[in-house]
């Protein structure tokens, strides 16, 4: 009988974007809260409506939706997962992919308005250059 190698441990094992002990909102203290007078209302972010893309048929042998991957530092990744988990019932997002897709498309639409008169940029052929921050 052969000895099998030990399975590798996942880097995300045991991590959760939602704290178990107490809700995140209760952890904010007076020292951590931003300095704001009572008369000032909180800053509002304008809503961006993201229109779904028309369904394009997948070519035979290709997945219906291609995978798009990003690299992100752990603190930002934790914030993204926490935002998804805490807002999914309010926004109606069915999956993390849907949440990320909406966020990315909102930013893409902002860039199209700012740099291309609101028109989608031309398609890019080939592979993306590999540049890491």
pLDDT tens-place string over residues 77-116: 999 999 999 998 888 878 999 899 999 999 999 999 999 9
With respect to residue 73, please indicate whether it lies within any of the assigned structural domains: yes
With respect to residue 88, please indicate whether it lies within any of the assigned structural domains: yes
Segments forming the whole domain that contains residue 84: 68-121
- List phi, psi (to 5°) of 117: 55, 30
How many domains are contained in the chain? 1
The SS3 call for residue 7 is coil
Which comes out higher in pLDDT, residue 30 or 125?
125
d(CA 105, CA 71): 18
With respect to residue 6, please indicate whether it lies within any of the assigned structural domains: no
With respect to residue 23, please indicate whether it lies within any of the assigned structural domains: no
pLDDT of 52 = 56
With respect to residue 111, please indicate whether it lies within any of the assigned structural domains: yes
pLDDT of 32 = 52
Low-confidence winner among 23-37, 47-61, 96-110 (lowest mean pLDDT):
23-37
Which comes out higher in pLDDT, residue 67 or 133?
67
d(CA 102, CA 121): 18
| Confidence bin at 27 (pLDDT 50/70/90) | very low
| Confidence bin at 130 (pLDDT 50/70/90) | confident
Q: Are 17 and 85 in contact (CB under 8 A)?
A: yes
Tokens (6 digits) for 98: 């849907």
């Amino acid at each position: 009988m052969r000895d099998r190698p030990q399975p590798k441990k996942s880097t995300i094992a045991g991590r959760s974007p939602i704290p178990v002990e107490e809700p995140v909102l209760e952890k904010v203290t007076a020292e951590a809260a931003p300095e704001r007078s009572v008369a000032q209302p909180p800053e509002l972010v304008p809503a961006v409506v993201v229109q779904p893309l028309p369904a394009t048929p997948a070519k035979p042998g290709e997945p219906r939706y291609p995978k798009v991957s990003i690299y992100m530092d752990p603190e930002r990744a934790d914030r993204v997962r926490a935002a998804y988990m805490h807002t999914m019932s309010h926004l109606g997002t069915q999956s993390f992919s849907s949440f990320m897709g909406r966020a990315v498309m909102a930013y893409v639409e902002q860039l199209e308005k700012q740099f291309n008169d609101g028109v989608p940029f031309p398609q890019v052929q080939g592979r993306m250059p590999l540049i890491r921050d």
